[in-house]
Amino acid sequence: MAGEVAIVGAGQSRFGVLKEGIKSLFAQAFFECLDSVDKGMDPRQVQEAFVGSMSFGGGQLGNLAALMTEQVGLTHIPARKVENACASSSYALRDAWFALHSGMLDVVLVAGVEKMTDLPSDRRRYWLGVSGDTEWERLAGTTFAGLYALMASRHMHEYGTKRESLAQVAVKNHRYASHNPKAHFQRPIKLEQVLEAPMLAQPLTLYDSCPVSDGASALLLTRAELAKSFTDSPVYIQASSGASDFLALHDREDITRVDGTVKAAKEAYRQAHLSPGEVDMAEIHDAFTIGEIMALEDLGFCSKGQGGVWTLEGRTEIGGDIAVNTSGGLKAKGHPLGATGAGQVVEVFKQLRSEAEKARQVSGAEVALTHNVGGSGATVAVHIFSR
């Protein structure tokens, strides 16, 4: 099944605190995606749409997919909303991948969209908590910052991970985001700024957390044998894998790893007939900086406990062992929940076609991976791509 589905177009809105509404953001992403199809595509060729969204805040809980597709002229096609926490559009991609493999469809749209910044802060906190265990975590007063702080504290205790390692994740990702015109944060930061920032939950400071963002992303997929009719440079999906884990941290065997990531990664490598060492770049779910460090280990890029060391040694930089979060990641590019997973793939599409900005282009990248998590790791999607 590897390589039987191809991406022929990709686009996104800017991520950030944006004045545009959800309809406009979706249209921006879709039309940029359509324009990226080298040989052109008639929108009427799109047969079905899969739209990832949490409908953050409840502004458009019902019929979101139909509302979005009508904004771009895709009326009367089947359109569905896919909701799976922060991994919603990665699971929309996975659903589309299965649909194309079935042979029933030739061309599909995968998209993600979220408008998060038009709610008061107390309502945002409510919606940001519903991806966790409501009964035993959220109603007990925990936040996602608190949960990831528990993971970070345990990782530091077990493996001697340094506070500076977490901070360096933020520094690296902000630097790449400063060269990404679509990123929420477009300025570099220094290690001292992260370490001295206001504390969210010990040991995580404000700069260890991703922002609350608005945004949309879109991808056009087709069966591989049709791809060259749309572009001379398709990006092939070599693997699509997903897994789940316990929702509450207290049910997990070890909170310094996410077993869903471990399982999904192993299956993705099996499908793609690849090893972790053959991956040139990865977009990793770094809603909090400890998330990137743990994912480096869970995805098999380094041994357990070495994620922090790799980060400090520059092995996750462009030119290192593997380039990680060249878009700026969730940490600096932004995290508009439903748009994040597809947004990671937009970065991969550009990187594998050598179309990213020069300062963050991974030279000669052939294989890429995306890793998208829902909540604190209960839902995971891993995809592998190649030129």
Q: Give the residue ranges of DSSP H helices in the chain.
A: 22-35, 64-71, 88-101, 121-129, 144-159, 163-177, 191-196, 259-272, 289-298, 307-312, 329-332, 337-352
Instruction: Describe the chain by its helix, strand, coil percentages, rounded to 5.
Output: 40, 20, 40
Ordered domains of the chain (ranges, CATH): 5-119+213-235 (3.40.47.10), 141-210+237-386 (3.40.47.10)
267-277 tens-digit pLDDT: 999 999 999 99
- Both tokens assigned to 351: 């990187």
Q: How confident is the model at residue 142 (pLDDT cuts 50, 70, 90)?
A: confident
Q: Which of 33, 86, 210, 302 is catalytic?
A: 86
Interstrand relation of 107-114 and 48-52 (parallel, antiparallel or unpaired) = parallel
Residues with Cβ within 8 Å of residue 219, at least 6 apart in sequence: 7, 9, 10, 33, 93, 109, 110, 111, 342, 345, 346, 349
323-381 tens-digit pLDDT: 999 999 999 999 999 999 999 999 999 999 999 999 999 999 999 999 999 988 999 99
**pLDDT higher for 146 or 154?**
154
277-330 tens-digit pLDDT: 999 999 999 999 999 999 999 999 999 999 999 999 999 999 999 999 999 999
What percent of the chain is predicted at pLDDT more than 90?
87
Q: How confident is the model at residue 130 (pLDDT cuts 50, 70, 90)?
A: low
Question: Up-side HSE of residue 120: CA atoms within 13 Å toward CB?
Answer: 2
- Both tokens assigned to 212: 């609350």
Beta bridge partners of 324: 282
Q: What is the pTM of this model?
A: 0.96
In the block, tokens 């502004």 appear at 59
Predicted confidence at residue 127, as pLDDT, reads 62
Predicted confidence at residue 128, as pLDDT, reads 63
Q: Which of 179, 184, 285, 335 is catalytic?
A: 335
pLDDT of 60 > 60? The answer is: no
Predicted confidence at residue 135, as pLDDT, reads 72
Cα 266 to Cα 70: distance, rounded to the nearest angstrom: 39
Cα 29 to Cα 53: distance, rounded to the nearest angstrom: 14
202-233 tens-digit pLDDT: 999 999 999 999 999 999 999 999 999 999 99
Burial of residue 80 (number of CB atoms within 10 Å: 0-12, 13-18, 19+)? middle
pLDDT of 141 > 80? The answer is: no
Q: How confident is the model at residue 57 (pLDDT cuts 50, 70, 90)?
A: low
Active-site residue 285, yes or no?
no
Active-site residue 335, yes or no?
yes
**pLDDT higher for 173 or 123?**
173
Mean pLDDT of 112-127: 79
